[in-house]
Structure formats: structure tokens, C-alpha cells
Structure 1
Amino acid sequence: MSKTSLLGQDHSSPLSTHSRPRALLESGCPLAGEASELSPAQTLIHLLKCNVGTGLLGLPLAVKNAGLLVGPVSLLAIGILTVHCMVILLNCAQHLTQRLQKTFVNYGETTMYSLECCASPWLRTHSAWGRYAVSFLLIVTQLGFCSVYFMFMADNLQQIVEEAHVLSNTCQPRRALELTPLLGIHSYMLTILPFLIMLVFIRNLKLLSIFSVLANVTTLGSTALIFEYIVQGIPYPSNLPLMANWKTFLLFFGTTIFTFEGVGMVLPLKNQMKNPQKFSIVLYLGMSLVIALYICMGTLGYMKFGSDTQASITLNLPNCWLYLSVKVMYSVGIFFTYALQFHVPAEIIVPLAVSQVSESWALLVDLAVRTALVCLTCVSAILVPRLDLVISLVGSVSSSALALVIPPLLEIVTFYPEDMSYVTVAKDIVISTLGLLGCILGTYQAIYEWAQPISHAVANSTGVYV
């Protein structure tokens, strides 16, 4: 979303619809540079980067929550539905840009213009609320990502510090060992907090692009090492259930949708390409690779660790120097990615706050709002100290709406006046209904698990395993 979209300014202004260098940052997928056009290969790299994050490491637990058979099949089905909804959004945006003679529209503007052109007078009158709703969901999603990053970094930092004295050069499977925690997990979150506050004070996009490159390198290296370990000596999964409890499946749904959340970046990516007509090929190729990666990580990770599978697969890795480097590299990548994900809600919220004060106070208010937002993500991480529940909650609440609920409804609103087939209408209603049910039930289950006494819940901390 653009800076001006929530300030009541003309949404057809150049900043809101033609800000190409910022387009990927506004979608939650930062551009590695400020070139105005991308080749298909560059677009594919950005597509993969935008879909591979902390959610990937939580997929083994997600498969555990669904079952060894149901998990991979459901991952494939949700992945196909998500890609289909991305294509729907692209088609709606292309149709509206041609009808309204626009150069580019983002997700929120697509929603607003679609409602402006629909047959219902009430929806036309309230069309701006569609853009506000999408902006709100993007803010919730991105700040949710940042809260997950807080917990992920704190979990790994705690494990690195408290198990450093038992590190060895020989990488053996983890075994149970009682350790006396040096500091609580909240202390590690508060230790990270000032460094993240200083990081988000950086507003220069070129400097942020350097962090994006570092995040790409560390993420790729650590993911390769994780696969190198989990493919070795996988035990025969005869004792693993093919289907899990339906309640835990709801947590699986939220985690999976969180991981697949990429629908908000397809429009800016297409707009950045030299040949936008080739984007469909890039999208299908890239998302096929992503789905295959997700299924392999989730299935192989669960088969490797079974009932001991943790909220992040990095917490299952052996306690040796090689796999300590995996935790360090992935944590470094997530640290830098925090600023990139944070830029999205900051670009929406900060201008609103700055517009309320005089120019002499603008910088102070800017920094204060950024600090408050970082502290908000830290407090959220402290209040829900389970990585798996936060991932599931964010996925169920906002990611499912952006990925599965809204795009099919947009297709109906956009194309129904033009003799849309009843089969397509029925298909869209079914997809939106499934997404809405997953949103409601997944949110309920995540909150229910959160409310349980800690003794009845699976703690996210894994300090007793080395």
C-alpha cells in the first residue's frame, strides 16, 4: 500500500499507483535494488525470497499436526488454491487497469476499484473501505511476521547461549538433558529489542537492499545445511499417524497459510517486469518450486524427528558447531528481514502520525512511532510465548483473508456483470467459504491453545534437548 492511500488523497496520484521502485516494499517483498525493471530470472528470485522465511521452518510441526499422509496432501491442496487465488487477483487487476486506463494498481486499489465498478450502490458508496480493510490486514500480517521473528531469534539465541558449553565437533542426534536456564526467553527478547529499534531507524531503501542480499545468502546456506542433515538416516515412519486430530489440523491450516502468504506481492512483481506478459510462467514455476520445497521440508522433517518435532526445525538440530552455524545464519537472515517486513506497516502508519504534527516534530514522531511498533511486536511475542501458536494465529486471522477469502470475492464483484458463469461463481464461493471457515476455526483453536495452562501445552522452548 502507498503512503497516501490512507490519508484521503487522490488514489490516482503518481505516488500511489506508479511508484515502481517502492512497489515490492509496499507488498512485503523488498526489491534487492532500485532498478525499474526485472528480468524473468530476477523476478523468480524475488518470488522465492518472498515465500521462504520462518514459516518454512515450522512446516515439520505443521505436518505433525495434520498427519504424515494428510499433511503433505493438504500442503499441496492449499498451495494450489493459493496460486489460483494469486492468478485471480492478477486477472482482476489487469481487467481494472484496462477498464480504468491505469498503469498499475496494488492489492488495496484493486479491491477499491472493483467495488466502485460493481452493481451494488451500497458497495460503490463504501468502496474506499475495501482498500482500508486490505491495508489493515497487511499491517496485521506484517507485524505478525515481525512478532514471529522476535520469538524465532530469541529461541535460537537462548539455545546458542545456554548450550554453548556442550558443543562438540561431532554432530550426533539430540538427546534429552536437563539444563538450568541462564535467562528466561523474555530476557532474550528484551536483549534483541534495542538492536531491532536501531535497525528500523534505517529508512534508506538502497541500504535496506543490502540487508536483503545478506538475508538471501544466509537463508540459502542454512536451508541447504538443514536438508543435508534431515535426509540422512530417516527412520521408517511406521509409528507416525497418517491422520492427526482435527483440532491440531486447524493449527496446521493457520501455519500453512502463514507460510504461503505471498498473494500481496504478485501485482508489484508483475509491474516490475520488463515483459509482464511472462509473469504467469514465472509465477507457476516459482510457486511449483515453493510448494515442492514446503512439502519436502515438512514431510522429511517430521519423518526425521517424529514426536520430538519442535516449533522450528532449527531447534531439533544437533548440538555441534556445524549446525550452530545454521541457527546463527538463519537468525542473522531473519534479523535483517525484520527491517524489510517492518517497512510495510511503517510506510502506512508513520505518514499518518507525521501528518498530525508540525515539520519540526516530524522526525521525532517518525522515530517514536517506529520504536512503538517494534515494542508492540516484542510485547506480542512476550504475551504469546509459543512460536507455533503465533504463526497459526497470524495465518488464520489475516493471511487466510488475504490469500483465500478476498480474491475469489473480487472475481465475482469484478466479472459478474459481464456474464460470469455460474460454475465460476460457485467455485469462488466455495474457496472463500473454506478460507473463512479456516480463518474462524483456526483462530479459535489458536486462542484456545494459548489460553491453556502452560503445563498442558507444549512449550516452545527446547532448552532441555541437546
Structure 2
Amino acid sequence: MVNLDTKTVSEPLLEPHHSTKASKLQTLGNIIVSVVGTGVLGLPFAFRIAGWVAGSLGVAIVGIATYYCMLLLVMCRRKLASEEPLVEAITYGDLGYRSFGTSGRYMTELLILLAQCGGSVAYLVFIGQNLHSVFQSYGFTMNSFIFMLVPVEIGLSWIGSLSALAPFSIFADVCNILAIGIVVKEDIQQVLQGEFSFGQRTTITSNIGGLPFAAGMAVFCFEGFGMTLALENSMRDKSKFPRLLAQTFGGISFVYILFGFCGYMAFGEETRDIVTLNLPRDWSSLAVQVGLCIGLVFTFPTMLHPINEIVEGKLKIFRRDNDGSARVGKTAIYISRAVVVVVLAILASFVPEFSVFASFVGSTICGMMSFVLPATFHLKLFGRSLSTWQRALDFIVLFSGLFFAIYGTYNTIVGV
């Protein structure tokens, strides 16, 4: 799921206790839970838009670039930690502050806020589309299901402990795996039945606009970029983190490519923006769709938590007790969290398709956070100590990220 780094949400889901450090196996699980989310179910559609060769290469390139930029963040954190040894947890916002002062922190936190809002809206759209598909005979629209969730999500957002909701995040990922398995099974069945040939599938699209669209989808699939610092900080032996991250990203990228390829091969030009919508209406497929929705309903508050922390932090500015301390009353907290849920639901009701919105978020916010900021921080914090090739590589990543964000945004708005 999309879990972004803040001072209050800096603990990986699988870490057993505040005072313990995660083993290599626990860190592996944390990386998978943080990175793999609902975006993977839109990959077959991205392969349909870009072609299976272009889609495969795109996912591989995005995976390598994301891994490299994660290493840049880790190097920046270690540099700051060596200069300020008393600081235990250095966040994404701290890197922004050390690089560009207060404005850098505000810029970084704004991107975190927008990314969390984008991920939350994507969750609601995903749930709405799947529930509409399962219960379409009842006459409800997708927006009806989204607004039906509002009271439930408001109540869940009032729960104080995120640890109580963590098992549902794992449950949602299990449903993701089951959905992947069912799609692969459908593909194998069609291969055995001889219902398609490679010649019937696009290798590289002739529509140039399809490439950045698919790339935005791929970036969105590598969720949890902001959890990099928390994941590295939670590991018992931090020296092994880069190698473990490389191995995990290699495995995730391979699974993404295989799944996107199989999904597109199975359904061809009929591939929907969420591939579960292509599944046959039997009990197993419907159960997986409902299971995915249930898991996401209960993990939605985790997505909201960074948003609520930022909003409630701003509310403290307007309230001072007699002793000068800043506090926000429980009533104000309940109201602000309810307003956040309602606003996100309204925004979700205007989203036409999951894939279009996911590509837009991936192209803009995720692209800025994943590529532009890490390269900028690395150049700023290390300065002249970098070699020529390191500076050149950082500038390539920086300008490529900016171009990708600008062109990807334009391409998503005008339509593929």
C-alpha cells in the first residue's frame, strides 16, 4: 500500500515492537507490504496501452530507477546522521529542510500530503469500481458505493491505534496475490485452448502517448517510496539494506512484468483498467474482488493518517491554551477527520477511471517524490564531493523526472 514517511507513521507494518529492530526476513516482508499495492492490478491495462515489449521494458527501467533513488535517500540520511548523531529518525521532510530550509520542508510535506490524498482517492475509486462490478445487478452506480463507504471510513479514521488495522493491510496483499494467481490461471487456460497468438497482441504501441501513460502506471505500482528511510532505519543490520532492497526490487519487478504480460495476453484488447473486472463471474473471482475491497476499506485509515497529522498540526496553530501550549480538542479532531473523508470521497466521484487517475498520480506526484527530490537532495547535500559521473547521473535522473512529470501530466489530461 501507499505508506509515506512521516514522523508519526515511520514504523513498518511488520515490526513487532517500538524498541526492537527488524531482522532481514522482517525487513523483506516490510518492503513487500510497503511497495506492492492495488496498482499492480492496473499493469495489464498499461501493457495493453504500451504494448507488451514496451511495457516490460518500462517496468524494468522504472524499477531500476526507483531502486537507485532509494539508495540516494539512504545515502543522504546517513550523511545527516553522521553530522547529527543524536537524531534517531530522519524523515523525508528533514532532508528537505537540510537541503533548502523551511521552504524545502514545506515542499516535501506538501508532496507527501498530495501523494497520500492521491493514493486515498485511488483506493476509493478501486473499491467503487470493483463493488459496482460485483453488485451491478442491484442498480447502484460506482459513486453510490463510494459514498456508502463514507460513514464507515469516518468511524475507522477515529480509531487511535494503527496497529489494530495493520493485519487488514496484509489481508489485502493476500487478496492481491490471489487475484494475480487467478489472472495467470486464466491466461494459461487460454494458451491451452489456443484462443490467442502473439501476433494478435501489440508489441510496441504506435501511439507515442501510450508510453508515458503506461510509465506513470508503472511508477504508481512501486508504492511506498516514502517508507524508504523508515525501512532502512528499522533494520537491525543496516549495512545489508541496499543488497536486500536490490534483491527484493528485482523480484517485485519480475513479478510485475510477468503479471502485466500474462494479464494482457489473457484478455487482449478487452483488458480493463482493473484486471479483476475481466475475471469470470464465478464464486472464486467474486470472492477475491470482495476480499480486496474489504482489505482496502480497513487499510484506508492508514492512508489517511499522514493527512490527518498534517491537518491537525495546522489546527494547532489556531488554538493556544492559557499556558501557551498548542492543543487540538477531540471534537475538532473528529470533525476534521470526517471532513477529510468527505472531501476525498467527493474527489473520487469525479475520477473517470482508476487507470487514468493512477497514471496521473504516478506521473506527477510520485514522479517528483521518487526521482526529482532524491536526486536534488543528493546533489545539494553532497555537493562537490560527488564525482563527475555521479553528478551527471543525478542530473539525468532529475531532468528525466521533470520531463516525465510534465509530459505525463499533459498526456493524461488530453487522453491517450
Q: TM-score, normalised by structure 2?
A: 0.91
Q: What is the match of residue 94 of structure 2?
A: 109
Q: Residues 303-327 of structure 1, C-alpha deviation per residue, up to 9 Å, x if partnerless?
A: 1111011110100101111111110
Equivalence map 1:199-214=2 (5 Å): 199-214=156-171
- Contact in 2 for aligned 1:63/1:71 (Cα 8 Å): yes
Measured in 2, the distance between the counterparts of 1:336 and 1:33 equals: 20
- Contact in 1 for aligned 2:27/2:231 (Cα 8 Å): yes
Structure 1 residues 216 and 241: CA distance shift in structure 2, 3 A: closer
* Greater helix fraction, Structure 1 or Structure 2: 2
Measured in 1, the distance between the counterparts of 2:140 and 2:167 equals: 33
Equivalence map 1:66-145=2 (5 Å): 66-101=50-85, 102-113=87-98, 115=99, 123=100, 127-145=101-119
- Contact in 2 for aligned 1:309/1:316 (Cα 8 Å): yes
- In structure 1, give the amino acid aligned to 2:222: F
Equivalence map 1:14-93=2 (5 Å): 22-24=9-11, 30-31=13-14, 33-35=16-18, 36-93=20-77
Structure 1 residues 129 and 271: CA distance shift in structure 2, 3 A: same
How many residues matched? Answer: 401
Identity, % of aligned positions = 27
Equivalence map 1:225-374=2 (5 Å): 225-234=182-191, 235-244=196-205, 245-357=207-319, 362-374=329-341
User: Shift of residue 355 of structure 1?
Assistant: 4.7
Q: What is the match of residue 192 of structure 1?
A: 149
Q: What is the match of residue 431 of structure 1?
A: 397
Measured in 1, the distance between the counterparts of 2:414 and 2:335 equals: 34
Q: Secondary structure at the match of 1:241?
A: coil
User: Shift of residue 354 of structure 1?
Assistant: 4.3
Measured in 2, the distance between the counterparts of 1:33 and 1:371 equals: 30
Q: Residues 43-81 of structure 1, C-alpha deviation per residue, up to 9 Å, x if partnerless?
A: 111100111111000001111121121110111011101
With 76-85 and 278-287 compared, the bigger mean Cα shift is at: 278-287
Q: CA RMSD in A?
A: 2.1
Can you give the 5+ residue segments of structure 2 that lack an aligned partner in the other structure? 322-326
Measured in 1, the distance between the counterparts of 2:5 and 2:62 equals: 29
Measured in 1, the distance between the counterparts of 2:404 and 2:300 equals: 27
Measured in 1, the distance between the counterparts of 2:270 and 2:5 equals: 44
Equivalence map 1:358-437=2 (5 Å): 362-418=329-385, 420-437=386-403
- In structure 2, give the amino acid aligned to 1:298: G
Can you give the 5+ residue segments of structure 1 that lack an aligned partner in the other structure? 4-15, 116-122, 164-180, 450-456, 458-466
Q: What is the match of residue 155 of structure 1?
A: 129
- Contact in 2 for aligned 1:261/1:403 (Cα 8 Å): no
- Contact in 1 for aligned 2:165/2:299 (Cα 8 Å): no
User: Shift of residue 281 of structure 1?
Assistant: 2.3
User: Shift of residue 32 of structure 1?
Assistant: 5.7
Q: Residues 103-127 of structure 1, C-alpha deviation per residue, up to 9 Å, x if partnerless?
A: 33111112222x2xxxxxxx5xxx1
User: Shift of residue 385 of structure 1?
Assistant: 2.3
Measured in 2, the distance between the counterparts of 1:265 and 1:361 equals: 27
Q: TM-score, normalised by structure 1?
A: 0.81
Q: Residues 361-398 of structure 1, C-alpha deviation per residue, up to 9 Å, x if partnerless?
A: 61111111111111122111111221111101111121
